[in-house]
A = this chain, B = another copy of it.
Amino acid sequence: MSRILYLVPLVGFTKEEKTRRERLANSFLTQEKNEVVVEDIEEGPVSIESSIEEYMCVGGMLKKLVAVQDNYDAAIIGCAGDPGLVPAKELVDIPIIGPLEASLHVASMLGETFTVIPSTFSTISRKLRDYGMEHRLASAEGIHFPVLEMAKNKEEVAKEFLKGAKKAVEQDNASCIIIGCMTTAFLLIDEMLKDKIDVPIINPAKISVKAAEMISSLGLKQSNISFPKPNYEKLNKTLFQNSFR
């Protein structure tokens, strides 16, 4: 049995939304006896819509990760941009799943190229270069709702998403669509649009839960060669106030 942490790197999440996401995340599990627990952080942004917010969530996220890691067999970074993926992999001994990273790899098994919706070209192409996958980016399409207003505009979000997806397939030769934002993912936009477009729609929330199950059940975790372990004694004294034993 695997206990999976879904760590939202944000503050200000309502208890209701947390419960809703936890319920959905558990419904994505392959194996019923596994469990997903949603946690958020003490200090950080309310949503991530710029590189600034993406970086400023990392400190709070790593601190929470250290504090709770012993309770879990794997952890998912609860944001479709994978903030702090590299330091998180270095920091702890449980496997860390980046929903974007996992989605890119699943998409690559289903098609040659993909479009990420919502995303902006400059940001997503930089990210894909980091993952060595820039050549697979067909295009980027935005959605005109701030993240915090998406839930209230579910139908319109789906309509805009579909419009972007169709453009991606018809004009840019995209073979898959990846949902580029967790709030959109938890609207289950992939299920809403499944019958309206003939290419796979990859939901990073679902993929990350299943990847966490897969990797933890195999007893695997990130390599110490690519993600060398830090000097824990120094970290204890400086940034993490003796959180490591």
Give the interface of A toward B (CB within 8 A). 30-32, 44-46, 49-56, 58-59, 62, 84, 86-87, 90-91, 95, 97-98, 101-102, 105-106, 108-113, 120-123, 125-126, 129-136, 169, 173-176, 194, 198-200, 202-203, 206-207, 210-211, 213-215, 217-228, 230-231, 234-235, 238-239
Contact = CB atoms under 8 A, between A and B. Distances in A.
B122 A50 contact: no
Contacts of A87: 50-52, 54-56
Contact of A52 (B46, B62, B199): B62
A79 to B, nearest CB: 14
Contacts of A101: 109
A54 B88 CA distance: 12
A4 to B, nearest CB: 13
A101 B169 CA distance: 24
B226 A122 contact: yes
Contacts of A102: 109
Contacts of A213: 30
Contacts of A220: 106, 110, 200, 202
A222 B58 contact: no
A164 to B, nearest CB: 16
A175 B125 CA distance: 13
Contacts of A224: 198-199
A102 B134 CA distance: 19
Contact of A129 (B91, B130, B203): B130
10 contacts: A50-B228, A53-B239, A55-B58, A105-B108, A106-B220, A111-B222, A122-B227, A129-B130, A200-B221, A202-B220
A106 B105 contact: yes
A217 B30 contact: yes
B235 A52 contact: yes
Residue of A45, A59, A131, A169 contacting most chain B CB atoms (<10 Å): A59
A132 B130 contact: no
A76 to B, nearest CB: 12
Contacts of A123: 228
